[in-house]
Structure 1
Amino acid sequence: MFRFKQFTIQQHQTAMKVCTDACVLGAYTHPGTTHVQPAPTLLDIGTGTGLLALMAAQNYPTAHRIDAVELDPDAFGQATDNVAASPFANRVRVHQTAIQDFRPGYQYDLILSNPPFFTNHLRSPDAATNRALHTETLPFTDLVAAANRLLHPEGEWWVLLPPYEAGQLETLAQQANLWPFSRLSLRHNARKAPFRHITGYRRNPTSLHTDTLTVYESDPANPGRETYTRPFRQLLSPFYLIF
């Protein structure tokens, strides 16, 4: 269980647990960094526990159409329960389907996705873990096609991936006329290379804005230990109980 300031995520039935990089994606895509309307239509592709959909509901309190799509039946049930127990239950709908088959009849102003990205890694004996981590159920070609089909002409699509996979996705996205306009590189500390990229895409090519968020820094009060950086604290303070 992971408690946030406005909702709680139960995660005992899901393969993918709450993690720092997903929380950064949910916190970062708020009205100050996105350029969508104040009450956008929102889609979370592969919602898992429902985390990103609930963070989006908190970030956009006037958004009334928030859809979360999840293929795995156990994760779907977990996300449904988490949404029902949240203060945003009347604004978030969870759908059990593959995004390839999802046909809502409208397009979205803001799409969020923390997709599976392993391709040739060793498989887990747990099938749900494989679905969550490996691209077989959602290859990047299908993800790009879904985003291209479901994104409003003026909308934004934000994706969380490791740097190498982010480059692979970018090539496919540009072939579909989806162009990166913003990238946040996430790194553990100033000595480490980025381990995740959060990239925003639009339909029209433009210059790419880049930034870096460092999670930890040396703690001056405790030599040899690390503490969260001020920018990380500021970003996650609307959500994390510890800030």
Structure 2
Amino acid sequence: MPRNHSFRFKQFTVQQDQCAMKVCTDACVLGAWAQVDGAKKVLDIGTGTGLLSLMVAQRTTGASIDAIELDEAAAQQARDNVAASPFTGRVQVIHTPIQQHKPQELYDCIITNPPFFQADLRSPDAGVNQAHHAQDLTFAELLAAIDRLLKKTGVWNVLLPVEESDKLQQLAEVGGWVPTHQLLLTHQPGRKPFRMLSTYVHNERRAVTNMKKELFIYETDGRTYSPEFRELLKEFYIIF
């Protein structure tokens, strides 16, 4: 996906020149795939441009969404993107660390594309560091926030590189969370998956069977979008 100053979807446009992390294919897949059915109050941790909040708003009827963002410039751009969308009355962008967020009520659903690369090389760009590396939000802190902010009957959705996802899952299961849906995202058949999308519930809720699937973005030629990818993103991408 090109790194343009803006990215236009069918129902909204995302401006991104003030955000270190631009609109990317894997985040779009998360926004379209995340398990949000029935949610009335949703939390987006690390909203960046506001992309995930806008996608969730489009997919839900009447859901109220709090979009948390640590970076001040990104938070303002997310506010502008929300204000220019049809969902301006349903998405509230809040500039604060998630560790300090204190809502009046708990959430039915959480969605997040959190910092990853828990111990990796740093970029010269401080904004990219903050977005990519867990220097301001470790996995332990993320799980603590989910424990504090999500209803026990709620669900949370997360996108990470595959190895990082495995690390988070180990910590989550120790804390009583189990995955119900997982999606391995792969560029094309024959390539290794590069992202894992997961939905978790608390293991006290019920016996859980994990539904793990794989999604190829492209067919074997590496250029033609797969039918499954087109079906998932058809309500968002103007090219479908």
Between the aligned partners of 1:235 and 1:119, the Cα distance in structure 2 is 30
Tell me what 2:31 maps to. 26
Report if the CA contact (8 A) 1:36-1:109 is conserved.
no
1:230 maps to which of 207, 227, 231? 227
Tell me what 1:46 maps to. 46
Report if the CA contact (8 A) 2:36-2:56 is conserved.
no
- Aligned pairs, how many? 232
Cα deviation for residue 116 of structure 1 reads 0.9
Q: TM-score, normalised by structure 2?
A: 0.93
Tell me what 1:146 maps to. 145
Cα deviation for residue 123 of structure 1 reads 1.8
Q: TM-score, normalised by structure 1?
A: 0.92
Tell me what 1:216 maps to. 218
Between the aligned partners of 1:36 and 1:241, the Cα distance in structure 2 is 24
Deviation digits for residues 149-185 of structure 1, max 9, x if unmatched? 1111111100000111101101111122111111011
What secondary structure is seen at the aligned counterpart in 1 of 2:61?
Answer: coil
Tell me what 2:19 maps to. 14
Q: Which runs of 5+ in 2 are unaligned?
A: 1-5
Tell me what 2:132 maps to. 133
Q: How do 1:61-76 and structure 2 match up within 5 A? A: 61-63=61-63, 65-76=64-75
Tell me what 1:4 maps to. 9
What secondary structure is seen at the aligned counterpart in 2 of 1:155?
Answer: strand
Between the aligned partners of 1:99 and 1:74, the Cα distance in structure 2 is 16
Q: Which runs of 5+ in 1 are unaligned?
A: 220-224
Cα deviation for residue 218 of structure 1 reads 3.6
Instruction: Provide the alpha-carbon RMSD of the alignment.
Output: 1.3
Identity %: 52
